[in-house]
Amino acid sequence: MKKRILITGGAGFLGSHLCEQLLNQGNEVICLDNLFTGRKQNIAHLMSQPNFEFIRHDITEPITVEVDQIYNLACPASPPHYQYNAIKTIKTSVMGAINVLGLARRVHARVFQASTSEIYGDPEVHPQPESYWGHVNTIGVRSCYDEGKRVAETLFFDYHRQNGVDIRVVRIFNTYGPRMLPDDGRVVSNFIVQALRGEDLTIYGDGSQTRSFCYVDDLINGFMKFMETDDFTGPVNLGNPGEFTMLELAELVLKKTGGKSKITFRPLPPDDPRQRQPDITLAKNRLGWEPKVPLSEGLDHTIAYFSQLLKSPAAHQPRTMKKPVRPQTLN
């Protein structure tokens, strides 16, 4: 049945793919975004569709719309972007969650939270099942994101228990694919863009840390399956259990792009998790979901996207982010 669906963060990497898939299924989609890390280009091809609407709005402010479902994706996801204005990041997660939950409560909408593997922090349990409570620094540079997302999960479950709000909470593990920003700062886009430009690939630390990379189409398919499943709030992990060191990833990207780039080593950022791999048993059992696209194939699609993008002059202009205003001191 056709639904009216609000997607916050809908002009971002994941959000734009979700808008597209939900429209393809015949739904009406309202995409809300403040365009901090999202781009109008990501949704330009959807603008002429009668079932699609774009609202430029900041989710830290309340909004009223009549909808059947809400997907809450609004939040910068790449470490350089979420650390750029850390206070805004935590406000986006916490006030954003309060605003979408309040809306869901008023209009009786099912509401989905894009949580993250970061809530497990630098994990002492490997791979990470949903029952693991995590190992997170409360005062580090990643905390604005990790703790913001943890509070958002808490708010989702409190609104569910206290007000009967119909929630779905997914913990997303590193996902990549077309429409990541070329200067996004996350490892897959960094390595591909560096390799295509003939620049050195920057490994932070010694490259032995691991991540598990999920291709965007698999993840979006999991989102939609979860949202259509009754009597299951989550939290549920969605990700690809294939685990790689950053050195392995760099070598694979170099092999596929065939360029002359070399690998250089840079200092490891603080609190960078050593290892990460989802335990997806719950997603398999409750959603009948598992990823299908192996890293090698997903990288081919992503490399093709960036090769095309880097041919356009706009891709070579650095993005200008407004500096947060610093309070004046008296002396």
Count interface residues toward ligand NAD (CB under 6 A).
27
145 catalytic residue (yes or no): yes
Tell me the residue type at 141: V
Can residue 128 be called a binding residue for ligand NAD (CB under 6 A)?
Answer: no
Which of 120, 145, 159, 215 is catalytic? The answer is 145
Residue 189 binds which entry of ligand NAD, ligand UDP, none, with Cβ cut-offs from 5 to 8 Å by kind?
A: none
Among 6, 67, 165, 172, interactor with ligand NAD by CB under 6 A: 172
- Cα 23 to chain centroid distance, Å, stands at 20
CB of 50 vs ligand UDP, minimal distance in Å = 37
Q: Does 36 bind ligand NAD (CB under 6 A)?
A: yes
How would you class 311 by CB atoms within 10 Å of its CB: exposed for 0-12, middle for 13-18, buried for 19 or more? exposed
CB of 25: closest distance to ligand NAD in angstroms?
A: 20
Residues in 63-82 that interact with ligand NAD by CB under 6 A: 73-77
Q: Which is nearer to ligand UDP, 202 or 281 (CB)?
A: 202
Closest by CA position to 123, among listed 279, 274, 282: 274
> Cβ contacts of residue 329 below 8 Å, gap of 6+?
none
Angle among Cα 113, 114, 115 to the nearest 5 degrees reads 100
Which residues neighbour 250 within 8 Å (Cβ) at sequence distance 6 or greater?
A: 191, 201, 203, 207, 263
Per-state percent for the chain, helix, strand, coil, to nearest 5: 40, 20, 45
d(CA 301, CA 92): 31
What are 204's strand-pairing partners?
266
Residue 35 binding target from ligand UDP, ligand NAD, none, CB below 5 to 8 Å by type = ligand NAD
Per CB under 6 A, 14 contacts ligand NAD? yes
Rule CB under 6 A: which residues touch ligand UDP?
Answer: 78-79, 174, 186-187, 190, 202-204, 209, 211, 246, 269, 272
Q: How far is the CB of 210 from ligand NAD (least distance, A)?
A: 15
Q: Which residues are catalytic?
A: 145
- List residues near ligand NAD by CB under 6 A: 8-9, 11-15, 33-38, 58-60, 73-77, 92, 114, 116, 172, 174-175
